Structure 1
């Protein structure tokens, strides 16, 4: 499979990001109601930088600028922890100890971190094996799909929950199934997308059915009690 054209797909995804976040974020800067906390802006900037990295890296591979690709790849070692911090701080800012279904609501942002960690971890662990490295980066990029698509179908198209949520996450499984079918004759890396679809199913089932284990409930209350924001 050729992933060197992945930048075209991630570039088109920028349009979906703008549409999905337009009602609740971008439009506010035009109507004068952009009174967001710094945590929102911090997360927005880091997420955009990550998306730009996903666009630039395969472009550099295709143009054979491998040295620049490796240099920017090292920058991701700094960017990714900062992106994680931005998500953790934003979630902490938006929740409080009295929030209803606190453990479940903490799970919503953290499940994206689990997916991201898997994809990025695979990409870094197998950075010298192109077939596996590329698949890991694709999975890490797919962590952006749910936040974008769910907002689009709910806020833009006005679909109510839970249907809006189901339609928002459907593209994830459609893409993964297509990729698994297309790579059926590949020699290396076929396990990455299979593990990814299993992990997505795991985190989404917990999200949909609100399955919260005692240890996660304890973690959620401990996390919210921290003086982070």
Structure 2
């Protein structure tokens, strides 16, 4: 089975996320916006699903692997709803005077939108290629790459001299941490593609998305009219955006499941 040790990477990413988001979310749960809670729960569920999916086939637990894989039909719509929820909260902060989001909300929204689309596409492709083991595994694991940037970026902003944020006066250095984290994520995607170019399309797509994120984050201006356009996302009621996310996630997994893959290179079923 491919990517035998990927579960270690996912476990480390989950653990690092606690440290990365401690100051902005985990340590202030009582005051965090509801959108952050929804996103935090749904994204964690997806990462735990990836952890189980990566662990079980290498322990001979293929039946459990397939059972957990079917949870994708629920987990991806929930993840999509959580992504819409956090965008709603970020938009509210951007137009509501939050000093951090006033500076970075628009740029972060571009990163999140690209990551959101990448995860839905990769999940659909994983289901489409569920009988092609290396492609299936690659597409599934590539959904973890969009988490590297927000996690490592915040780690860099807490540990790397010159990028450390101690208060609002340091918010301008946040972008450096984000771009450095994007560079790390891009190098990982490039390395994984170079290891197996024949089955490397998931990582090549992930690399293209990361490059688009780097360019968008650098070039999209943070001021008007972009702030007003992004702020408009705060206007609809949260339940409406949650429903939209659920619908987009459901459409993604349904299309992936029902679209036939090229079976000429099919391998034994993985999920």
TM-score, scaled to structure 2 = 0.71
Q: Which residue of 2 aligns with 1:203?
A: 213
Report deviation, 1:220: 4.3
What is the total number of aligned residue pairs between the two structures? 219
- Alpha-carbon shift at residue 219 of structure 1 (Å): 7.4
Spell out the pairing of 1:53-132 with structure 2 (5 A cutoff): 53-96=49-92, 98=95, 104=107, 106-132=109-135
**1:46 pairs with 2:42:** yes
Structure 1: tracts of 5 or more residues without a match: none
Alpha carbons 1:57, 1:69 under 8 Å: kept: yes
Pairing 1:192–2:188 present? no
Relative to the length of structure 1, the TM-score reads 0.83
**Hey, what's the Cα distance between the residues in 2 that align with 1:129 and 1:50?**
21
Structure 2 alignment gaps of length 5 or more: 97-101, 164-172, 240-271
**4+ aligned runs moved over 3 Å, structure 1:** 96-106, 155-158, 216-225
Cα pair 2:152 2:181 within 8 Å, conserved: yes
Q: Conserved in 2, the CA contact under 8 Å of 1:23 and 1:155?
A: no
Which residue of structure 1 aligns with residue 15 of structure 2?
A: 15
Q: Distance in 2 between matches of 1:40 and 1:217?
A: 20
* In the alignment, structure 1 residue 178 sits paired with structure 2 residue 191: yes
Greater RCO (Cα-Cα under 8 Å, separation 6 or more): 2
- For residue 144 of structure 1, report the CA deviation from its aligned partner: 1.1
Separation in structure 1 between the aligned mates of residue 143 and residue 220 of structure 2, nearest angstrom: 24
Residues 36 and 224 of structure 1: is their aligned pair in 2 closer, same or farther, counting only changes over 3 Å? closer
- The two structures, once aligned, show a CA RMSD in angstroms of 2.7
Q: Distance in 2 between matches of 1:161 and 1:103?
A: 13
Q: 2:255 — aligned with what?
A: none
